[in-house]
Each structure stands twice: as C-alpha cells, then as structure tokens.
C-alpha cells in the first residue's frame, strides 16, 4: 500500500489557479520530489498534503487516512517559511514541539539532546533562537520535524539557508530516514539535489504536472546527447563547438548538448585531442534541469 496518495488535487486563490489536477503516489521507504521553479505550485501542494490547507478538488490519503488531522502525530512537516519562537530556548522549543506530537516529556528531552549532539549543536541547547545564525535555526527547525519519529516526512525546501557542508549532512540524514522505511515528500527548485536524493519526481510548472516518474525512467527515455569534458591546456576551443548548446563553460571544463544528426562527436574529440590533454570526457543523458526546461518549452509552445 502506498503511504501517500494524491488524486487530482486543485487549489485556487481568487482568480489564480495555483495547482491544477495534480496526482502522484509515494511508497514507504521512498523519496518523492516535487520539483519546479519558484511560483510553480510546489508549496501549495505540500501544504495540502500536510493538512495546512484543503484542496478545492481531489483527494489526499496519508497512511490510508483521508482525515489528515487525525494522524498528525505520524507526520513530520518542515514548512518553507520557518516558524520558531525567537525568545525561547532551543531545548525547550524542541521538547515543546515533540510534546505537541504526543511524545512524553522525558523521551522528548532525550531525543532533542541526541539530535543536537548529532549535529554538533549541544552547546546551543540553552541559547535562544534569536541568538542563532540562519543555518543553525534551520537545523533546529529540521530537528523539530523529525523528533517524534514520523512515518511520513514532508520537507519544503529543506536545504534553504544551509552551507554546502550542512547540505551534505542533511542529505545523509534524509537517506538514513529512507532506509528506516519513512515516506519522504521533498519540495525543491534545485534539480541537482533532487537527482541525488529522489526515487521518483513530479515536475510542476504553473500549477500543472509537466512530467512525472522515476529518475531512471525519465532519463532512459532521453538520448545520450550531453557531454561533460575536463581537460588540461588551451582554453580557447570555442571554434570546435559550432552548433551545440553550451550548458556551462569554465576554465578547462565544458558541458554541452548536441544533436546527433548535425554534430560529429568523434570528430570533435579528435580535434580536441590535437589541442589539449583530455582529463575526462563523459557522454550522458541530459540533466533533470535540462529535461524540465525542454518539457516546459514544449508545453508552452502547444
């Protein structure tokens, strides 16, 4: 049985159709990504699944229940707009949030201390939130969402405010929770992070589903037309790249997409070898970001 079932939900705010006929399902032990640019409808979808707002149309089942309010203790929710009490001590705040989810005070204190220790933040336990950096506040907010050991975890832009080191730490925590059998719904505009974490994704633009499915299937249906090349030597190779779409071009590294019908990749490599020493060259399917842009462009041209 799916831990989460979303069936053709829609939501409008006055004349704005924020979400239109969105459907997806998520199994326990899977990470499902809701992806799209800012304003695409991701947060509205997340809020409906979390029970913060109700859909105008459609149905949502969480752990088999249509009454999401009745199972809130089994749901962990990290909202996009963070909500911490600035003058309250961190340890007291974490315990308070856990108690709201029916965790006994002693257990809540133990779990709060455990997570603060795990995140190298034990020294901050008796600090007030207003004394913390944005990144540290984000850690506290994240811990408050998982402290009661929920079966379903709903994360809206979970890495916002984190530096690269903490992003990696929390990616690993999310993957560990997945191994424990948690159902994880993750909203992000960062396609690269989604590729690294998600089993399946739903790409949304202007409130509508543009593309959905497993990362593997989405990429398997695309031609291997993306090249990543790293090299030593002369950086002036622009004349070899006529007719390709350059995705990034930095010193001694280039990423581009090409059309098999008009671009001779073998000839490009031979000419490149005559000028530079190739460190790495990789032929692959386009990134999720490129696929999303392609699908949105296609949809808007219809």
**Lookup: tokens for 167:** 């992003």
In the chain, what are the domains?
Answer: 4-219 (3.40.50.300), 223-284 (3.30.70)
Per-residue pLDDT of the chain (302 residues; tens, 9 = 90+): 799 999 999 999 998 999 999 999 999 999 999 998 888 899 999 999 999 999 999 999 999 999 999 999 999 999 987 778 888 999 999 999 999 999 999 999 999 999 999 988 888 889 998 888 888 888 899 999 999 999 999 999 999 878 899 999 999 999 999 999 999 999 988 888 899 999 999 999 999 999 999 999 998 888 899 999 999 987 788 889 888 999 999 888 999 999 999 999 999 999 999 889 999 999 999 988 888 888 888 777 65
d(CA 250, CA 235): 9
Write phi, then psi, for 106 (nearest 5 degrees): -60, -45
**C-beta atoms surrounding 258 within 10 Å:** 19
Question: What is this structure's pTM?
Answer: 0.88
- Find the helix or strand (DSSP H, E) in which 216 lies: helix 215-220
- 79, 156 in Cβ contact below 8 A? yes
Please provide the DSSP assignment of 116-170 as one string: HHHTT-GGGTTSBGGGS-HHHHHHHHHHHHHTT--SEEEEESTTTT--HHHHHHH
């Amino acid at each position: 049985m799916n831990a989460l079932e979303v069936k053709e939900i829609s939501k409008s705010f006055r004349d704005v159709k924020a979400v239109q006929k969105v459907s997806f399902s998520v199994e326990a032990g899977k990470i499902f990504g809701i992806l799209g640019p800012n304003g695409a409808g991701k947060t509205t979808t997340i809020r409906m699944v979390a029970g913060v707002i109700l859909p105008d149309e459609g149905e949502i089942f969480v752990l088999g229940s249509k009454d999401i309010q009745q199972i809130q203790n089994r749901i962990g929710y990290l909202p996009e707009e963070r909500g911490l009490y600035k003058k309250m001590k961190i340890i007291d705040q974490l315990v308070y949030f856990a108690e709201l989810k029916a965790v006994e005070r002693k257990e809540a204190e133990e779990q709060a201390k455990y997570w603060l220790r795990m995140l190298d933040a034990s020294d901050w336990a008796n600090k007030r939130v207003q004394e913390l950096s944005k990144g540290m506040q984000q850690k506290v907010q994240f811990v408050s969402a998982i402290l009661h050991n929920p079966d379903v975890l709903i994360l809206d832009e979970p890495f916002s405010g984190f530096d690269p080191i903490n992003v990696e730490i929390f990616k690993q925590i999310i993957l560990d929770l997945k191994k424990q059998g948690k159902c994880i719904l993750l909203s992000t505009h960062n396609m690269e992070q989604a590729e690294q974490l998600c089993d399946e994704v739903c790409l949304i633009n202007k409130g509508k589903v543009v593309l959905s499915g497993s990362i593997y299937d989405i990429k398997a249906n695309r031609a291997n037309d993306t090249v990543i090349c790293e090299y030593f030597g002369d950086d002036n190779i622009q004349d070899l790249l006529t007719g390709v779409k350059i995705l990034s071009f930095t010193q001694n590294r280039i990423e581009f997409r090409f059309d098999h019908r008009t671009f001779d990749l073998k000839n490009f490599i031979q000419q490149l070898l005559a000028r530079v020493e190739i460190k790495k060259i990789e032929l692959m399917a386009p990134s999720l970001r490129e696929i999303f842009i392609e699908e949105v462009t296609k949809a808007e041209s219809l």
